[in-house]
């Protein structure tokens, strides 16, 4: 493979998946500064906000303003999460480059998360795709399969069902598909098996993996997926996000921990790790709590420690 084929693309999701569960209000200015900082750090894909009901997710009620006021950088795709046609219309007006629709593989989780059956979700996506393909509308369309590796209510999720949803998404005509391990239930063997099956029907450039670190396996699953050909991964600065069913457990895989893994193993991401660390280290003050990411606390391998003074004296 050439370098481009080995490249790992990180889609930064902290502004959306990270901030959505934070109890504090992050001012619009700070959200814009975060997205702009991420653009400067070298990301090519940023999920910058969502267009859901402000009642459902008040933390992201300023999505329109964020999208309008961020500094667009050439080559960066700014993604908006949308729950329905109304959200899609708002996201298009605000200038989103890509719309991300979400449905769970598990009926129970979809009812809990989206308040409708999977069939109703798919019917709604059909309207959104029709909107996105209208003449004069220039937007990319991504569809996510949440709980693709397990459901916190139902447990195991049948892999054939996930493949059937991939097929349904492709028939709808989306440009990309995300397999999401919404509550961190995936393991590396399962990931390798399912990703292989999905890559048989979808090119790697159109597949995103979204892992949570709920049970400490987030980066293990990234490596497993990468080794069988996946190349695009969601991650959140500081490891923000999380699962309301596992308080205290980690959220999304941490972007700077992932980029460090790539840097150390010679996998190109195009992302500047020192810039990323500087952004991450602002999060505790912004959010009022420590964040799960490890690298911002530990530093990079090359950030060496001074030799203890006692040894100098003894030498």
243 is catalytic: yes
For a second copy, the closer of residues 58 and 216 by Cβ is 216
For residue 149 the two structure tokens come to 């590796």
In angstroms, the CA 5 to CA 111 distance is 38
CA distance 71 to 126: 31
Q: Does 302 bind a second copy (CB under 8 A)?
A: yes
Q: Are 52 and 60 in contact (CB under 8 A)?
A: yes
For residue 93, give both structure tokens. 């007006």
User: Of these, 250, 252, 269, 280, which contacts a second copy (CB under 8 A)?
Assistant: 250
135/308 with CB nearer a second copy: 308
155 binds a second copy (CB under 8 A): yes
Q: Rounded distance, CA 18 to CA 71, Å?
A: 20
Residue 152 interacts with a second copy (CB under 8 A)? yes
* Closer of 121 and 214 to a second copy (Cβ): 214
Binder of a second copy out of 55, 138, 305, 313 (CB under 8 A)? 305
Residues 66, 99, 141, 217: which binds a second copy (CB under 8 A)?
217
Nearer to a second copy, 94 or 180 (CB): 180
Which 3 state secondary structure label does DSSP give 200? coil
**Environment class of residue 28 by beta-carbon count within 10 Å: exposed (0-12), middle (13-18) or buried (19+)?**
middle
Using alpha carbons, select from 231, 187, 186 the residue that is nearest to residue 8.
231
- Residue closer to a second copy by CB (options 185, 198) is 185
Closest to a second copy by CB, 35 vs 240, is 240
As given in the structure block, the two tokens for residue 203 are 């090119």
Catalytic residue among 151, 243, 254, 262: 243
Q: Does 238 help bind a second copy (rule: CB under 8 A)?
A: no
Report how far residue 5's alpha carbon sits from residue 40's, in angstroms, rounded to the nearest whole number.
23
Which of 23, 135, 136, 308 touches a second copy (CB under 8 A)? 308
DSSP result, 240-269: ----TTSTTS--BPBHHHHHHHHHHHT---
CA dist., res. 94 & res. 129, Å (int): 18
Q: Give burial (CB, 10 Å; 0-12/13-18/19+) of 240.
A: buried
Q: Does 243 bind a second copy (CB under 8 A)?
A: yes
Question: Computed over its alpha carbons, how large is the radius of gyration of the chain?
Answer: 19
CB of 157 to a second copy, least distance (A): 11
# chain residues binding a second copy, by CB under 8 A: 53
Binding pattern to a second copy, positions 28-67, x when CB under 8 A? ----------------------------------------
Under rule CB under 8 A, residue 313 binds a second copy: no
Residues near a second copy (CB under 8 A): 108, 111-112, 150, 152-155, 184-185, 187-190, 213-217, 219-220, 223-224, 243, 245-250, 254, 257, 260-261, 264-266, 290, 293-295, 297-299, 301-302, 304-308, 311, 314
- So which residues are the catalytic ones? 243
């Amino acid at each position: 493979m050439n370098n481009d084929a080995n490249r790992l693309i990180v889609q930064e999701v902290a502004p959306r998946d990270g901030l959505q569960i934070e109890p504090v209000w992050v001012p619009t200015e700070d959200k814009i500064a975060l997205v702009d900082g991420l653009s400067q750090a070298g990301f090519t894909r940023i999920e910058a906000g969502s267009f859901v009901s402000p009642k459902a997710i008040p933390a992201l009620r300023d999505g329109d303003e964020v999208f309008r006021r961020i500094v667009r950088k050439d080559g960066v795709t700014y993604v908006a999460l949308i729950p329905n046609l109304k959200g899609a219309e708002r996201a298009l007006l605000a200038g989103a480059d890509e719309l991300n629709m979400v449905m769970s593989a598990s009926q129970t989780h979809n009812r809990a998360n989206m308040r409708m059956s999977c069939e109703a979700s798919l019917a709604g996506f059909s309207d959104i795709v029709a909107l996105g393909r209208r003449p004069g509308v220039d937007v990319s369309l991504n569809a996510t399969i949440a709980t693709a590796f397990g459901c916190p209510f139902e447990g195991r999720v049948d892999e054939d069902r996930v493949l059937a949803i991939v097929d349904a998404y492709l028939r709808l005509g989306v440009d990309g598909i995300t397999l999401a391990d919404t509550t961190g239930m995936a393991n590396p063997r399962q990931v390798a098996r399912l990703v292989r099956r999905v890559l048989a029907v979808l090119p790697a450039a159109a597949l995103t993996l979204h892992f949570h670190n709920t049970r400490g396996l987030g980066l293990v699953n990234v490596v497993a997926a990468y080794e069988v050909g996946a190349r695009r991964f969601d991650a959140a600065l500081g490891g923000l996000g999380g699962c309301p069913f596992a308080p205290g457990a980690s959220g999304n895989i941490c972007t700077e921990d992932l980029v460090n893994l790539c840097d150390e193993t010679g996998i190109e991401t195009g992302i500047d790790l020192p810039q990323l660390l500087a952004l991450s280290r602002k999060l505790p003050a912004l959010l009022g709590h420590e964040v799960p990411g490890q690298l911002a606390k530990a530093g990079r391998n090359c950030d060496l420690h001074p030799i203890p003074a006692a040894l100098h004296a003894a030498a």
